Structure 1
């Protein structure tokens, strides 16, 4: 059974269209008061281009395109930077040719997706480069914006990370609050699975919990906020009986301290929680 921790999200066009449609409706694109002025020709074909004021990694091109094509199905989009590729400051990113209605009403939605998703991909790329020559894989988390998890996890994968479980349904993960309800780690040795083959991950906050947790035969142990010295001790205690994931790292410089450890994964909530959007600008030509 393959767990999402080992995979990357694929582009699903129906999900893209559904997400963009919701965003356009939120913005009221069908009732754009500016386009209702009597002397405004909303069917006039115009062109526009998007440039960036900073470097980064591109993500969200399909969402960007759909923001215009839902309004004008004949809109033509020409990309100068490919999805997942890096770009420099002041780069020309894309050119659009469509009805004025589509460009003016779809502009904000298109840029919102592009700036958010590229910001996430750029941050993931920055972290991934730190682990370039390491066997450790970078993982995202479920610390995402409501209703934008697919977009955010898609973007982290473009930046070089892999996806942790997408939701509560694709792996069993017992964190500190679960353990409190169960009555402690010691109670897990009699754990009963509803479905054979379900992956099990257990969060560890103290070294004393490890041997007890291993009795539950987990696929992976998450060492949460342990010091490097504690992690090294944990590696010896675990002794290759399961995979090891660590968390609690705050920034790329901090990550450098962990890249030579004999662990498998590092999960980072920072990838999707603390978003630094890329500054894009759309201008009519």
Structure 2
């Protein structure tokens, strides 16, 4: 992070003085190999994720039509009329929180977070990533009635909602796919796939199957690359850590904290 006004209100923090540079020379070849290797693994992971996202986007473009969006909006209005009674004095607000991600451990989703906040869960069975339209309508309706919502973006498409939590109503809407199902019996289940145009689904069955298979393989390859990157990064830390004076690092941190506190006292 670059300081906006160096020396005036911000300063560079140089922790390079905490290295034992002479000792690092003895592991120089290993350091260079790990540094180059883990960056290459991250690049491979990003390429795979980009390709998977492009395939998923093609599928979504095929299936999302004005008719489907109208159908989802109508269904959302029906849910809102049933689940939300009355209106608040002021509109609610939305915060964004990821419910899962694509990590070196695999594609993860923290369903426990949902269970901790919401006792009633609508499972949106969503093989093709269609949930965003319905979730947007549900979030807008809940906020209009005065409820705060937690909008959970899709890790591959952060501008799209994948899940919605309304803690004040103990209500959640979780989109699921066959590989990541809701682990319990849901309060209600809505099959979003069945809302898509049946003729398009039948005509494109082979294409959809191929896209899902290739996308899954790309995600698997991305996870493998992330796992390799983490292993190399761990090795890199193992090479560096014995040659870092952490007492000096912590001392520098304490000095920075004291400087912040002094500024606060002068206000």
- What is the TM-score with the length of structure 2 in the denominator? 0.26
- What is the TM-score with the length of structure 1 in the denominator? 0.25
Structure with the largest fraction of strand: 1
Q: Which has the higher contact order (CA 8 A, sep 6+)?
A: 2
Structure with the largest fraction of helix: 2
Which entry has the higher C-alpha Rg, 1 or 2?
2
